[in-house]
Structure 1
Amino acid sequence: MKHSLSSLLLFTILSSCISTSSDTESYLVTEEKMSYEEWLVLARHDIRLFPMYGHAVKTSKQLEADAEFVESAIADAGSPDSASNYYFKKACTHMKQRDLQTVMYRLNQAWLLNVKNPDVYRGFGWVYLQLEQYDMAIKLFDEGLGIDPGNEDLLSMKTLVIKQAKKGS
């Protein structure tokens, strides 16, 4: 059942990233999962693997790199919203391969460009769903709903994850 929930939620999140049903089918392929413990080992050395960079205190060099990235991405896209959406869609392309690390990197870039983009929180939640961290996924969906309380995609994903978590209890 976990596989079907994961596939359904992947389809839901990718529906805003893709345009044809034939593309959708290719996103449902599964690959070997990384455990949450393995993820945490990697994340200890890379703040980009935590949503919102783990709210880490960044060095001046990191802050400078962030500022340069934001300036360049907005110049290319025309606005913070457009730039954030562009990086969210880049994350979506890596969801197809279930490359969780790159997905998280791109989601964090999208968040850096627009902390109020609800799709980013949906993406963060999807990553934690893949890691079978349902409570964290729900928490991230709730953060997105705090920005956009009527967001149907976030509400649907949260409902499905809550149902799955109850079945697993």
Structure 2
Amino acid sequence: MESMTSAYRSILESVGEDVSRDGLRDTPERAAKAMEFLTRGYHQTLEEVVNGAIFESDSDEMVIVRDIELYSLCEHHLLPFIGKCHVAYLPRGKVIGLSKVARIVDMYARRLQIQESLTKQIATAVLEVTGGIGVGVIIESQHMCMMMRGVQKQNSSMTTSAMLGRFRSDINTRNEFLSLVRD
């Protein structure tokens, strides 16, 4: 924490700020604590996040968790991207606790990321813990690195998907998922 606080102090001084002024006096430490929180996914494991919440089930129908909000930091500019994630899987004798799907999303989102990798990491993790027949993940988000700087396109958004197992090999399964997550 101390080295991160010092780094933020240096950044503020580099942009021309006086870190001894009232409004900034505690900012380096607050920023360090915020960064620690925003990247807490580095200190979590899939096993810890799932915490044994895998349950026997005879369900073999698609399970979908829609509109899981996510907040991540672009690894290129350290600016936020914010959006929603839809996760679906086809169980094979086991289902995962509902909140654990959102926790998996958060664990990977709370790391420096690009959206394409985040999408694949979530899909791979859900497939690993459920042992399902297939997994589909779609992420829709807005990237502050594109909105606040560079091309400054306020209405732009990015959509990525990862389809594993039957979601990749069976067009009907994929289409069912896509039709169920459309607004």
Structure 1 length as normaliser, TM-score? 0.28
Higher RCO (CA < 8 A, seq sep 6+): 1
Q: Whose Rg is larger?
A: 2
Q: Which one has a larger percent strand, Structure 1 or Structure 2?
A: 2
